[in-house]
């Protein structure tokens, strides 16, 4: 099989991943009626749109329970390994990540599933490892999350997964969390020794886990001015293990012809239409599984937009940076991110299908002119 170079490792200085489009609501805890509904044909349409525009990857999230409240954001979702195979077969060059929760899926199952998707896509698959945070969601499966040990289990899980994909004779594993027999998979992945691995984390334990197991770390970006220090800190974790991590942010995108229009729209759906009961549930579940080293949730909006406008934006996803403004303003912010050492950002929209065309048409050419991205061949 001839592999297609995975664009996750492509030449663009600042890369993008379409994030959370497999779930309704995207990254906004909002009751706005025009919010993303995640209808399958629309998911396919925006995946193909991103593929044709040269976006580097698609990153879905693994969910089995919504956030409740009035909108039950994330309540509708497509399982990510199945999603990866389907979207991979319907696209040509975009990287296709699948999110796998450690407490729910065995490393042997994941190795075979990711290898399958790697063959479906001719070498464009990737794995996003998550160790879990919503206990009630995992109660559906009878799984347990230990806030203090979840990354320890995740690291053992990753080592088994990676060894399986190395190939060779079947092997046994006797560890702290897993006792497994006859581990092997056929076929192996197209990408060798394995497809790219992603992880998300902001705490010291999360960064240390990514430093050992991941190629890409998604982390909260409290403020662009502090991004360079954040990147250096993440790189220092990776250096302890003789490795390198590409550091990405996560962003809510509101791109409009004028800054006022963008800010007004953001305030409308993230404050006036904020789903406050769902927000209360979100923070309660986060607190229940946070380890002792977990920082308080970052609220990037309070660092910039709230000061600028004097308005609140409660329904914005905690930890997602607000890229809100005109195409020129968004590009200026992303140029600062790139200068700080960020490799890119995952992006989400209130309505992906309605908003992505303007973003792709107006933002990408400006980034090309600055040398942040290359034209699509």
What is the arithmetic mean of pLDDT over 43-63? 97
User: In whole numbers, what is the pLDDT of the chain averaged over residues?
Assistant: 92
Q: What is the pTM of this model?
A: 0.93
- State pLDDT tens for residues 333-357: 999 999 999 999 999 999 999 999 9
User: Mean pLDDT over residues 240-247, rounded?
Assistant: 97
Q: What average pLDDT does the segment 103-123 reach?
A: 97
So what's the pLDDT on residue 71? 94
Q: Please check the confidence at residue 152 and state whether its pLDDT lies above 90.
A: yes
Residue 153 to residues 70, 107, 193, 210, 316, Cα–Cα distance (Å): 35, 11, 22, 13, 31
Confidence band for 190, pLDDT divided at 50, 70 and 90: very high
- Would residue 375 count as lying in a domain? no
Residue 301, pLDDT score? 46
374 part of a folded domain: no
Give the pLDDT score at 289.
Answer: 57
Query: Which pLDDT score is estimated for 303?
Result: 54
Residue 377 maps to a domain: no
Q: What does the alpha-carbon distance between residue 298 and residue 48 come to, in Å, rounded to a whole number?
A: 32
Cα→Cα distances 47→34, 122, 352, Å: 19, 17, 10
What separation, in Å, do the N-terminal and C-terminal C-alpha atoms of the chain show? 23
Checking if the pLDDT of 19 tops 50, the result is: yes
Nearest to 322 by CA among 338, 342, 302: 302
Distance CA 62, CA 66 (A): 11
How many independent structural domains does the chain possess? 1
Helix (H, G, I), strand (E, B) or coil at 122: coil
Q: What is the DSSP string of 152-182?
A: HHHHHHHHHHHHHHH-SS-EEEE-SS-EEEE
**Is 210 contained in some domain?**
yes
Looking at residue 211, its pLDDT comes to: 97
Element (H, E) at 101: strand 95-101
> Each residue of 36-51: b (16+ CB within 10 Å) or e?
bebeeebbeebbebbb
Cβ contacts of residue 291 below 8 Å, gap of 6+? 147, 148, 150, 151, 203, 205
Range of the domain at 339: 7-369
pLDDT at 302 over 50: no
Strand partners, 18: 58, 347
- Asked whether residue 2 is assigned to any structural domain, the reply reads no
| Average confidence (pLDDT) over 298-320 | 75
Compute the CA torsion angle 47, 52, 54, 58 (nearest 10 deg).
Answer: 10
Residue 1 lies in a domain: no
Q: What's the pLDDT score for residue 128?
A: 98
Give 288's pLDDT tier (boundaries 50, 70, 90): low
Query: Stretch 191-197: mean pLDDT, rounded?
Result: 97
Listed residue (357, 270, 257) closest to 318, CA to CA: 270
User: With 60 as the cut, is the pLDDT of residue 299 above it?
Assistant: no
Task: Kindly tell me if the per-residue pLDDT of 5 is higher than 90.
Answer: no
Which alpha helices (H) appear in the chain, and where do they start and end?
A: 40-53, 80-90, 107-120, 135-139, 150-166, 204-213, 227-239, 259-267, 276-289, 300-303, 305-309, 327-339, 352-369
How many beta carbons lie within 10 A of that of residue 376, not counting itself? 12
Query: Confidence class of residue 216 from pLDDT cuts 50, 70 and 90?
Result: very high
pLDDT tens, residue by residue, 252-270? 999 999 999 999 999 999 9
Q: Report the alpha-carbon distance of residue 96 to residue 91 in Å, rounded.
A: 9
For residue 340, give the CATH number of its domain.
3.20.20.30
Within-domain flag for 347: yes
- Res 295: pLDDT: 57
Lowest-confidence range among 160-169, 175-184, 304-313? 304-313
- How many CB atoms neighbour CB 34 within 10 A? 12
Confidence of residue 136 (pLDDT cuts 50, 70, 90): confident
């Amino acid at each position: 099989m001839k592999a297609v170079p995975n664009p996750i490792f492509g030449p663009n200085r600042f890369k993008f991943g379409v994030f959370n489009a497999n779930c309704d609501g995207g990254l906004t805890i909002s009751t706005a009626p025009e919010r993303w509904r995640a209808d399958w044909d629309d998911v396919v349409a925006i995946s193909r749109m991103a593929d044709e525009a040269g976006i580097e990857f698609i990153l879905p999230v693994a969910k089995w329970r919504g956030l409740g409240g009035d909108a039950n954001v994330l309540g509708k979702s497509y399982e990510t390994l199945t999603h990866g195979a389907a979207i991979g077969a319907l696209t040509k060059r975009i990287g296709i990540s699948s999110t796998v929760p450690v407490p729910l899926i065995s490393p042997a199952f994941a190795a075979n599933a990711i290898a399958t998707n790697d063959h479906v896509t001719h070498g464009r698959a990737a794995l996003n490892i998550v160790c879990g945070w919503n206990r009630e969601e995992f109660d559906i499966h009878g799984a347990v999350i230990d806030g203090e040990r979840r990354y320890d289990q995740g690291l053992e899980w990753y080592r088994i997964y990676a060894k399986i994909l190395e190939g060779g004779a079947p092997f046994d594993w006797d560890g702290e969390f897993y006792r497994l027999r006859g581990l092997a998979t056929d076929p192996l992945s197209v990408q060798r020794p394995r497809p790219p691995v992603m992880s998300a984390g902001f705490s010291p334990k999360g960064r240390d886990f990514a430093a050992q197991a991941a190629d890409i770390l998604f982390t909260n970006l409290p403020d662009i001015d502090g991004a360079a220090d954040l990147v250096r800190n993440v790189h220092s974790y990776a250096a302890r293990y003789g490795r390198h991590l590409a550091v990405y942010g996560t962003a809510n995108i509101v791109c409009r012809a004028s800054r006022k229009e963008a800010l007004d729209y953001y305030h409308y759906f993230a404050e006036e239409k904020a789903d406050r009961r769902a927000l209360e549930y979100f923070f309660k579940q986060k607190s229940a599984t946070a380890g002792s080293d977990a920082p308080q949730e970052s609220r990037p909006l309070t660092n910039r937009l709230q000061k600028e406008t004097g308005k609140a934006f409660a329904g914005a996803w905690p930890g997602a940076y607000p890229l809100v403004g005109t195409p020129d303003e968004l590009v200026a912010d992303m140029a600062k991110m790139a200068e700080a050492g960020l490799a890119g950002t995952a992006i989400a929209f209130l309505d992906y299908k309605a908003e992505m065309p303007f973003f792709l048409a107006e933002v990408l050419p400006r980034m090309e002119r600055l040398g942040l991205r290359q034209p699509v061949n």
